[in-house]
Every structure is written in structure tokens, then in C-alpha cells.
Chain A
Amino acid sequence: MEAKHKILVLDDDADWLDMCRDFLAQLPSQPEIRTAATGVRALSMLDATPFRILICDLKMPRMDGLQVLSIVRRRFPELRTVVLTGLQDDQFRSRAYALGVDLFWLKPDMQQNSKLFLDCIESLLGQVDAGGFRDAQPKNLLDVIQMECLAGNSSVLRINSGAHIGKIWFQHGELTDAAADGADGEAAFRRILKWKSGTFESLPPEPERARTMTKSLESMLAELEETVEKAVNPGSVEELEQQKFIGQLAEIAVAGAEFIVTVPAKKEIAAKAWGTKNTEQLAAWTRMVEKSAQRLGETLSAGPLTHVAGHNLERHLLLLPQNGKTFVVGWPGESASTELFEQSKKLTLSWDS
């Protein structure tokens, strides 16, 4: 039996999520509908389960929709994305499309044209999902290149795969040049072939472009096939970093923390943060608290500082000095304060590794 497609709806409004769940249940293919109220939760769900479509709001606290979409575009290039927002702003629309979303709908329009919206979603669900490069129909990139060569075409193929953009130049059916991620020639060509999915468009030829690739088509294709076989996995450093980052995000989501900021001891090194936009101010406060604590520790001979904890009604904060930097971990106000020190320590150890 064919497994049902899954749709993930991300919105910070719980009532809207309930409404969407009921509404999308009317889709003829009866997909499984899941919901997430935060970007972190959505990313961890996407990491754990393959989804077909992500329907995402734009305006959300902490991690907004555009941030989620930019991570999704890199991490899950095969995922279809739909923006469903109340923000009637063309800037957001164009930024969302620049991030490669498949559909952009305003919430009021969706409610008024519910049938059309459902048709669009059903159509996205119905499209073949075997990866590949999206044009009129899914194709293998290698097939596209071979077709260009065999047809003796002169053209430029522009290929988008997540955050990557590459170009391949053809002149009278011969590969003449390639460019991708700052690389040129054969190196760029091999890099492009490692991309597993994306979109491409054919641009007018550029006969004046200098030729950098001189190998015959046969030897190039033989090398290509070898490369494609090898590309079955070992990810690039960037991919591994991205995977690690997603793993860390998932850890935060599972633990229930709101944000993490790493504050290096040296002021010149910028603090890094996830989950808060208040990074610089928090970093300045953290450095100030550390200096106060240092003065107090010296005056009282109280020994080294192990941690600083603070709270208000909305959240708990923990400052943990570790390996020349200080981690600031924010937790929701309702968290049990007795366990936060140990939980924060666990989180910071994984972030520091």
C-alpha cells in the first residue's frame, strides 16, 4: 500500500493550526497533516520524518518564516514549500519566492478561494517526488547535459539547488565551461553533478565565453557517471556543518530551551546566537555580569564562578562559563528551575563539541 504524503503546517497561532488541520483534511489524497507552533519544532519534525509539503507562516516570534524557509531550502531541497501569511507586503512575497517557495498565499485569499487553494496543494502533492531536477517534468541532470550535447546545442544551463547556483556552458554540443560556488571548469562541473535535486533553466548561448573544459564528451561523461556514483553520499563540509546545526536545533527543541547565545571572552569576537535577536545586548550584559562576578569572587575569595542563574516571570536565564566562552541559555518561565542547570550543561556540551 502506498504511504500517505505528509504535510507540515507551521504557525504560531494554535487556533489557525486547528483550522488548517480540519481544512486540509478535505484534500482528496487524504494526506497526513501535522502541525508545529515554532520554527525549531518544525525543523526537528522535518529532520525526523520525511514531509512532502511545508505550509509556513511568515510572522512568528523568535524564528520567523523566512528564517525557517532559508534553512529548509538548504537542508531539505526536495520539500515543497507554501507560504500562508497575513502579511500583505510585496517585499515579503518576493523574498519568499527568492527562497524558492512553490506557492505564496495570503490567509484571507485562502479562506475566500478555499477550493483553489486545495487544488494547488493537491497538485503539489501529486507531483513526482523522486528528487531530480525540476523543469517541465523531473529529470536527471545528467540526462539534461547529455541531451544538450547530443543535440549539438549552444546554450547555458543555469542550475539552482537549494542555496547553490551553477552554470554550464555548451557550444555546439560541447561542454566548454562551468561555474558553481566560486569554482570554475571541471571542478565546478563535478560539484554541480553532486547536487541531487533542484531546478534548471536554459539561457541563451554565450559564444564569447572562454573555453576552460577541453576533455572529450565521452571521457567527460565517463567521469561524470563515476562522480555520480560516488556522490551517493559523503557530504561536503558545508553539508556536515548544516546537519550538525540541524541536530543541535533539534536538541534545543527537544530540551525545550528558547535560545542559546555563545559569548566569547574576547570582545572582538562576535557572539553567536540562535533563537534570539537580542544577541549583542545579551552578550554585553553577559560580559558585564562576568566582570562583576570576577570582582566579587576575588574580593570574597569565593573560588571560581560555576554559573549565574536569573529569572523573571517569562523566562529563566543561565550563564555557564565553559572553555573560554560563556553560554547563555534561555528557558521558558514555566520550566522547573531545579533541573535547568543540568539541562543547560548538557546542551552547551553538545554545542561546544
Chain B
Amino acid sequence: MARIEVPMPQMGESIAEGTVSKWLKAVGDDVARDEPLLEISTDKVDAEIPAPSAGTLAQIVVAEGQTVEVGTVVAWIETEKGAVAQPPASDAAVAAPAAVRAEASPPPPAPAAAGAAAPVTAEERLRQKSTPLVRRIAAEHEVDIGAVAGTGHAGRVTKQDILSFLERREQAVEPVPAPPRPAPAAAPVPVGIDDFWATFYGQVRHPEFAVRAGDRVEPMDRIRRLTADHMVRAKRVAPHVHSFIEVDFTRVDRVRAASRARWDQQGVKVSYTAFVAWAVARLLREFPMVNATVSGESLVFRADVNVGIAVDLNPGLIVPVVRNADELNLLGIARRIGDLAQRARDRKLKPEEIQGATFSITNPGVLGTLVGMPIIPEGTAAILGTGAIEKRTVVVEADGGDAIAIRKRSFFSLGYDHRIVDGADAARFLARLKELIERFPEDA
């Protein structure tokens, strides 16, 4: 009896690794030589890999979804029929993923092998993709999610959908007429294709102006259009107020100088923005109305502190989000901002990384601007703008008298939605922020 290894093949000179995307055979299946055994994917390529030899698929070493280097053994083929032998002891480490997979795989009917799964249409795939919470509710009440009308994204079943479904099901049992179901919060279904696009873009109509000879007319690309619509809606809905304060960075500079060597060793660049984000994340817990939004007739106070950091793409603007920023220390925030900003510039952010901000920071000061009056992103209550940090002559008290000193200072502006944040709240928030930055803790 001979065991033949199936290595991750070299599909191209510059391809160093591949991901197993699908096993076309299950352990125990007979395979013919050159019969397709598995599918792998590399950079934009799917490839079917043939069996190097006839026999029985004895062991799958690399599970679907795993990426391994070229040459790694992905499976073993037994060239003679018989019991599936234990892999040689030296393979124990390599075999581990397969063992883990076997334990983790769900009980029948859901074999790991392809082809056995019930055919699922693309439509069904979209509908079945509900959140774990919705799936759990469905399982608890023995509801087939497919039977529930979805009003969520792409027809998905939302928590509200399944709760209404359960409510109606209960009412159907009792001889009580069901109240009319409240209309979903989604926009009304448009009537024509042109109306569709107007709705899709959020119903913002940008007025047109005459084009003059020699002008260049360029359609807005996706980011510009989304940004334009968003700014109009944000400014139209939320009554903006801006308050300003001047913050001294002398202390922050001292903390930075004292820790720079240590941070350099750890390969992290701790920018002023990281200091500000750290301070803001701490304060937002003290000021729930600033970490909130007006939604319909309600106020929604957010449970998480997710700080959006505006990044200039030149051209374009994107606001990646530092999630649960209040749980990170200064170094953690700096690292996260550095990573997000880099990937924003490389256009490698995932959609979920630009969603869910509960407060935002923008830094017009980085380009020398003294102070800005930023627009509050939709669905939040406030945004902080940080102006240029520069040396200024200021009057300080020294030895019981006034003296002129040189200090690094910056103007901060807080743009806030006056429906939910009162002027005094904003003033208190800014005063606390100034205090926290000017007495920045060394152990932050």
C-alpha cells in the first residue's frame, strides 16, 4: 500500500501560495488519475487540481478556506484500496488542521465534500444571510427564515422582521384581528428607473448650472457623489452649531518626547491625532449626548465608542472607524489609526471599516488651517476639528506675575447637532477635552 502526497501546485512562477477553495472529493472517495480533486484560488484565479495518481482520497490535510505555500501537502491518496491508514507520525503537525476541521464540521446533513449540499439559488443565499441574532431567534421559535419577508438590506430578514413575523404568528392563533403592520422604515419603492436612481442616491437633487465654453464637464464618480449627497443631507437636517477652544500641547509634546524611543522600538508612530482620539474616546463616556444621534422621534445613545478619523485621499475623503476606541490605550489607538489610514490610502479598506462611527475627528490643521467648521456626519451628534498645532506667544503666570511664553497651541472646533447637544454640553465637553490634553497622563 502506498501513500501519495498531493502538494499545493506551483501554478505560476510568481505564485507562492494558494487557497484551497473547494474539495471536489471527500475522504474515502475513489479518484482516477488526473480527475479533478480540488479547486484552489490565487490572485483572481480559480484552478482545478487533478489527482496525481489513481486511488482513494485517504486524508484531507488542508481545509477549505486555508491558504498554504506552494509545495505544502494538501492531501494524501492511498494507491490501493483498504482501510484509511493513520498518517505517519512525522505528519502529525501538518495533519492538525484536518483533525480540527473534522471536529468542527457540523453533523450530517452537511458533509464537507462539495456537491452534496442542497442547491441554493443566489436569491436564497442573500436571504439566508441574516445576522446571528436573527438566526438564533429563528431557531428558538422554529421559524424557517426563508418564510419571513425580509425588509432589510438586499431583502435580508432583520430582527424587526422576525419579531413581527412571530407576533403575527401568535396573533393568528388567537381570534383577534392583527393590527396593520407598520410600514418598514425603508424608502418607498420608486416607480420608474429614473426615480430609482434618484432614490438610490438619497433623493438629493443637485441644481444644474450653465456650462461655459472651455469648461471641462466630468460626471461625479461614486465616492464624490456619495460624499456630495451625504454632505447635503447632513447639513440640511442637523442644525449645526460650532464652538471653539484653544488647547495647549506643551504637555503632549513632553509625553511624546519621553516615550518616542520606546514607541520607535515598537514600530508605532504616535501622532497628535492619536492623543486627541484617546482623550475624546475617554470623554465620550462622560457625555452620552455627544455619543448619540437623533433618530425619528427618538434619541439613540450609542453603546459603543467608535471614533471615525477623516483621511484625505487627495482627491476624496474617507472616514475609517476606530471601533471601541475607549477600550484601547494610546499605543493601541495610534497603531489602529496608522493601519486604517494606510489602508485607506491604498484603497484596501473593507466596507465595514468605514461604517458605524459614533463620533468623528477631522484634522484640517495638518495642512496648516487655523480652525475648521466641519459638517457633522449623518447619524452622529458631533465632530471635532483640530486646527494647526503651532508655536504661539501666550501670557502665562510665572512667579506670581504675568509673563510672555512660547507655547505649542491649537484651536479645536466642535460641530454639534443642536437638537441633541446643548451649547453648555458642548462647552463642558471642550473644557474637559482641553483639561485632559493639557494634563495628559503618562500612562495613557
Note whether A and B form a binding pair: no
A contact set with B: CB distance below 8 Å: none
**A-binding residues in B (CB < 8 A):** none
